[in-house]
Amino acid sequence: MAERYLITKVATVEGAAVPELVKLKVARDEKLAEEKKAAIAAKQKTKEEERAKLKERTAAYEKEYAEASKELVKLRREAKVNGNFFVEPEAKLLFVVRIAGIIKMSPKPRKVLQLLRLKQLHNGVFLKVNKPILNMLKLVQPYVTYGYPSLKTVRELVYKRGFGKVNKQRIPLSSNDIISESLGKFGIHGMEDIIHEIYTVGPNFKQVSNFLWPFKLSSPKGGFINKRHGFCEGRGGDWGNREELINDLLRRMN
C-alpha cells in the first residue's frame, strides 16, 4: 500500500511538521495571488489612463462643436451684412423612425425596412446621407419619418436609449469597458466617442452604428397627426422628411 503513495519530505517550521507538497501549494497560491494583484493594478492603471484620455477628447470635441457653431453664425452674419443668401451646409446624418406596422405591407418595403434594421414599430436608427440610403428611403417613405438630428438629440438618444450589440445580445451601455471591448480597435472607448463619431459621421460611422442596437422609442406625447399623409403635404401628416423638425418629434418620443 505504501508504494501507491508519493513519499514526501517533512520539514520542521516553528516546531510543526509541514509536508513538502503543502509548502509547494502555499508557495504556488502566494505566487498566483501576487500575479492577480499585479494584473488588477495594471488594469486599474490602464482604466485611469483611458479615462483621462477620454476627458481630454471630450474637451476637444466640445471645443470643435463650439467652433463649428461660431463659424456658422459668422457666415450667416456676413451674408446678411452683404445682402447675400447663406446656403446651409448639407446634412450628413439622418435619424429614421418607423411609424407604421406590418399589416398590408408589400414584400419589397418590408425587406427594405429589415435592411435598415427597422423591424419594429417606433424603432429608430442613425444613417449616413448618401444616394443608396436616400433611394431606399424613397421605397419606404409612407412607413417612416426622418430628419437631421441635432447634437443635443444625438446625445440624449445615446445616453437614454443607447444599447450595444454584444454577441448578438442587447446589452445596456452601463460601462465604458463594454464599448472598449467592441470598438476599442477603432479608437472608441466611451460614450462621447460614440456621440462624436455619429454626429460628425466619422470614418468608423458604420461600425459604431452597427454596434448600437436600434433605438426603441415610445409613442410620441400628444400622438401623431395623420400617418396616412406626408409631413410636407398641405393638410399635414407624419411620414417623410421633417428635416430639423425631427428633433421636436424625438423629444416627444424619448
Does residue 2 have a pLDDT over 60? Answer: no
Grade residue 197 by pLDDT with cuts at 50, 70 and 90.
very high
Does residue 4 have a pLDDT over 60? Answer: no
Contact call for residues 158 and 198 (beta carbons, < 8 A):
yes
What pLDDT is attached to residue 84? 85
Residue 149 CA, distance from chain mean position? 15
Contact call for residues 250 and 217 (beta carbons, < 8 A):
yes
Task: Give the range with max mean pLDDT: 17-31, 75-89, 145-159.
Answer: 145-159
**Mean pLDDT value across residues 172-188:** 87
What pLDDT is attached to residue 149? 93
What pLDDT is attached to residue 148? 93
The residue among 237, 191, 194 whose CA lies nearest residue 99 is: 237
| Residue 216, strand partner residues | 123
Does residue 234 have a pLDDT over 80? Answer: no
Contact call for residues 90 and 96 (beta carbons, < 8 A):
no
What pLDDT is attached to residue 223? 83
Grade residue 118 by pLDDT with cuts at 50, 70 and 90.
very high
> In degrees to the nearest 10, what's the CA dihedral of 232, 236, 242, 244?
110
Does residue 90 have a pLDDT over 80? Answer: yes
Give the SS3 label for residue 233: coil
| Residue 165, strand partner residues | 170
Does residue 7 have a pLDDT over 80? Answer: no
What pLDDT is attached to residue 10? 43
Contact call for residues 241 and 231 (beta carbons, < 8 A):
yes
What pLDDT is attached to residue 189? 86
Per-residue pLDDT tens over the stretch 78-88: 888 888 888 88
What pLDDT is attached to residue 14? 52
| Residue 63, strand partner residues | none
> What domains sit in the chain, N to C, each tagged with a CATH number?
93-253 (3.30.1390.20)
| Residue 93, strand partner residues | 128
Grade residue 16 by pLDDT with cuts at 50, 70 and 90.
low
What is the rounded CA–CA span in Å between residue 56 and residue 52?
6
How confident is the prediction for the chain on average, in pLDDT?
A: 85
What pLDDT is attached to residue 170? 92
Does residue 97 have a pLDDT over 60? Answer: yes
What is the rounded CA–CA span in Å between residue 148 and residue 246?
7
Per-residue pLDDT tens over the stretch 55-66: 888 899 999 999
What is the phi-psi region of residue 175: left when phi exceeds 0, alpha when psi lies from -120 to 50, beta otherwise?
beta
Contact call for residues 144 and 98 (beta carbons, < 8 A):
yes
Set of cell numbers at residue 64? 470643435
Lowest mean pLDDT among 22-36, 41-55, 136-150: 41-55
Tell me what percent of the residues of the chain surpass a pLDDT of 70.
Answer: 93
Set of cell numbers at residue 80? 446678411
Contact call for residues 79 and 85 (beta carbons, < 8 A):
yes
Tell me what percent of the residues of the chain surpass a pLDDT of 90.
Answer: 35
